[in-house]
Chain A
Amino acid sequence: MRKSVAPAKPGATDLSFLDKARSRIKDPFFWSDWLVVVAFIFVVAVFGIIAPEEFLTLWNLNNILVAASIPAIIAVGQTFTVLTAGIDLSVSSTMTFGAVTFGLVFTNSWPLWQCVIIGVIAGTVVGLLNGLIIAKRKINDFIVTLGMLSVASGAALVLSDGKPRQVISEQLSTLAIGEKANVPYLMMVAFVIVLIAHFVLFHTRFGTHVFAVGGDPESARAMGISVVKIKVAVYVISGALAGLAATLAISRIGSAEPAANTSILLNSVAAVVLGGVSLFGGRGTIFGPFIATLLLQSLANGLTVIGVAAYYQYLSIGLVVILSAALVRTDK
């Protein structure tokens, strides 16, 4: 079981640096970590050359960061589940469920911070159910979360009676359009989540256990790690982050929408794969999926900015995902 480390700072200059670099480049795992960074730089460079005046403006880079913030948070949650060889297909409808509960209490004039907490709790409950059913009943992650995708979006429709609830709030719109030093607030929130997740994964015992359960559940069990607890925990994390992302989504669109936004799910799975997380569990990083999210959003933004017709955008984004996944090939 190999616990991979996030892209470390280059420039550690000792004598064997070149040798080390040479051997690292030959290591296929090195590429699964770095390919996404190379691809990201490549995409930005290509659009930068094609449309420097449109793509490489502060305004537009700001747009990309805003667009990437919600998918980035969802991708972090998804990374945890995939690291344990699971997958959370219910993230998009969990987010919708969180948004609807937020909207419900907001229209009943609860204070904003309580609405945010209610949204997170709603997501956490969905995640807890996912985790308990998967771990306790030992049912396949794919099936349980696929079912939950339908259950959570159904619950959202029932709870909201199918109607969107408008959420107009000064604070929320500041969150959505505000920025400091050219960094949008939404991205700051997302980046804090990314940093916390990185710390949890690589600098806590819990993180080590997540890798252990994903890499080899039998050995993990033998070592005294509770596979059930870890499984439940990763789905709770995924659900809670989906609930948090619901607040960001509401801030962006100004209402709690009852219809599930499935592109959020597809995006998170694509980002996790592109980011070099093994679908078989046990290896991956947080920064990989984060950069992959930036890559996917830059691609969508760039294609729109240079005026590529909508039909071709679906095609090109899909091709990039498949191509990069084929190049990364992290699996043992």
Chain B
Amino acid sequence: MKLTKSIKVAFVAVAASSLVIAGTTTGSAAPKKSLKSIRVAAVVKGLDNPFFIGIKEGIEETALKYGVYANVQAAPGLNDDIGQANKLDSLAGQNYDCYIVIPISSNNLSQAIGKITKKKKTVINIDSPVDSASLNASGGKITSFAGTDNFEAGKAGGAKMVAAIGAGKKIGLIAGLAGNVTSNARVDGFKAGAAGATFVGPVNADWDTTKALDAANAMIAANKDLAGFFAANDQMAQGVGKAIKAAKLNIPVYGVDGIADALNEVKAGSITATISQYPYVMGQMGVEACIIAAQGGKVPAQTITPYYIIDSSNITAALTNKSTRGFFPNQTPPGAFTNPYTKLIKK
């Protein structure tokens, strides 16, 4: 009895939902997509990292603002490259107009993207680029890329520091994990920007505050004439800040990212500057690129998302700009930045 009843319920549910689906597909067959009918799926990296939570919020709030539907999914863990590919595979067959992807490695989503391209759907790549060779091999196509140029961000920091301390000085470099692409780009960029300086390191402190503290202590002990420090992320800059304070030195330390703690330390003076990134803006640009593509517009192929050097000169603006979020409090830079996507959306 119970069983037959539940089977009936199941049948009704199946029948009803297939009607609904049939309804929507005929509805969306109209030539121009209304904002409300646009469906966006996003697969970001693991949400155990605040940076990607910032991106997720950028996607969700921008979708809400335009009234488009967004389903944001994440890899089960920061290193789960196969799990992330599974997620994108699961979404690829569904009724979405556009897919926003942030690959964990430069290759892991290429095959899934190939499947999406075969279905003639749009793929927007944000933050970390998908490798073009593997993309070609799978027949995938990326319509637009929006991400930070870590090399340029580091370079801007290097130029700023040399302008502050003068040329020909000795600068200590603290890098993240050995072989990490982001860390390398930031450190190499900084070196390029700080032309004329001599460098100590880079020493790998694995993105970790304590390890950076230890590394900075060792570098200060061995090089009494250090005139500044660059750390490839804010957590490490915090560690360096502590080492400098303990050694009673008065030299600048720059970090990268713009996390909440670092902004507070810039305010307090224990970190000199943080080259801030805006994950929220990346998410926003991803959704906007999707909308342009769904409306049949021409999407800019590549956009460099903004970075901003936050130091004592603009820290007040950065802190008032603060939203309710914890880790990446600044959704947008405290000044002007170009977003080539917004103006292309038809309301």
Q: Which of B175-183, B226-234, B271-279 contacts A (4 or more CB under 8 A)?
A: B175-183
Q: Which of B107-115, B251-259, B309-317, B322-330 contacts A (4 or more CB under 8 A)?
A: B107-115
Interface residues of B in 65-94 (CB under 8 A from A): 71-74, 76-77, 79-83, 85-87, 89-94
CA distance A64 to B137 in the complex (A): 23
**Residue B217, interface by CB 8 Å:** no
A254 touches B111 (CB 8 A): yes
A253 touches B77 (CB 8 A): no
CA distance A63 to B76 in the complex (A): 16
B203: min CB distance to chain A, Å: 15
CA distance A4 to B87 in the complex (A): 36
Q: Which of A49, A177, A297 contacts B10 (CB 8 A)?
A: A49
Q: Which of A60, A161, A314 contacts B90 (CB 8 A)?
A: A60
CA distance A176 to B85 in the complex (A): 12
Q: Which of B92, B105, B111, B178 contacts A176 (CB 8 A)?
A: B111
A249 touches B111 (CB 8 A): no
Q: Which of B13, B114, B134 contacts A255 (CB 8 A)?
A: B134
User: Most chain-B Cβ atoms within 10 A of its Cβ — which of A66, A166, A259, A304?
Assistant: A304
A52 touches B18 (CB 8 A): yes
Number of A-B contacts (CB under 8 A): 130
**Residue B138, interface by CB 8 Å:** yes
**Residue B143, interface by CB 8 Å:** no
B89 touches A67 (CB 8 A): yes
Nearest B residue (CB) for A248: B82
Q: How many chain B residues touch A (Cβ–Cβ < 8 Å)?
A: 46
CB-CB < 8 A to A14: which residues of B?
A: none
**Residue B301, interface by CB 8 Å:** no
**Residue A260, interface by CB 8 Å:** yes
Interface residues of B in 108-141 (CB under 8 A from A): 108, 110-111, 114-115, 131, 133-134, 137-138
**Residue B21, interface by CB 8 Å:** yes
A53 touches B21 (CB 8 A): yes
CB-CB < 8 A to A114: which residues of B?
A: none
B107 touches A166 (CB 8 A): yes
**Residue B159, interface by CB 8 Å:** no
A53 touches B17 (CB 8 A): yes
B18 touches A310 (CB 8 A): no
CB-CB < 8 A to A54: which residues of B?
A: 93-95
CA distance A163 to B177 in the complex (A): 11
Q: Which of A63, A67, A166, A304 contacts B73 (CB 8 A)?
A: A304
B13 touches A49 (CB 8 A): yes
CB-CB < 8 A to B111: which residues of A?
A: 173, 176-177, 252-254
**Residue B106, interface by CB 8 Å:** yes
B325: min CB distance to chain A, Å: 16
A164 touches B133 (CB 8 A): no
**Residue B14, interface by CB 8 Å:** yes
Q: Is the interface of A mostly helix, strand, loop or mixed?
A: helix
Nearest A residue (CB) for B21: A53
**Residue B304, interface by CB 8 Å:** no
B93 touches A253 (CB 8 A): no
B82 touches A161 (CB 8 A): no
B86 touches A301 (CB 8 A): yes
CA distance A57 to B89 in the complex (A): 13
**Residue B319, interface by CB 8 Å:** no
Given known contacts A301-B90, A307-B71, is B76 in contact with A314 (CB within 8 Å)?
yes
CB-CB < 8 A to A249: which residues of B?
A: 82
B18 touches A53 (CB 8 A): yes
A254 touches B138 (CB 8 A): yes
Nearest B residue (CB) for A52: B14
A305 touches B134 (CB 8 A): no
Q: Which 8 A-B pairs have the closest CB atoms?
A: A162-B179, A253-B108, A59-B93, A254-B107, A67-B86, A255-B107, A310-B74, A304-B90
Residues of B within 8 A of A (CB): 10, 13-14, 17-18, 21, 47, 56, 71-74, 76-77, 79-83, 85-87, 89-95, 105-108, 110-111, 114-115, 131, 133-134, 137-138, 177-180
Q: Can you name 21 A-B pairs with beta carbons within 8 Å? A: A52-B13, A52-B14, A53-B21, A54-B94, A67-B86, A162-B177, A168-B133, A177-B111, A249-B82, A253-B81, A253-B105, A254-B107, A255-B134, A257-B79, A257-B108, A258-B179, A264-B82, A300-B87, A300-B90, A304-B73, A310-B73
Beyond known contacts A54-B93, A304-B90: 8 more, CB 8 A cutoff: A52-B17, A60-B93, A163-B179, A166-B133, A166-B134, A254-B107, A255-B106, A261-B83
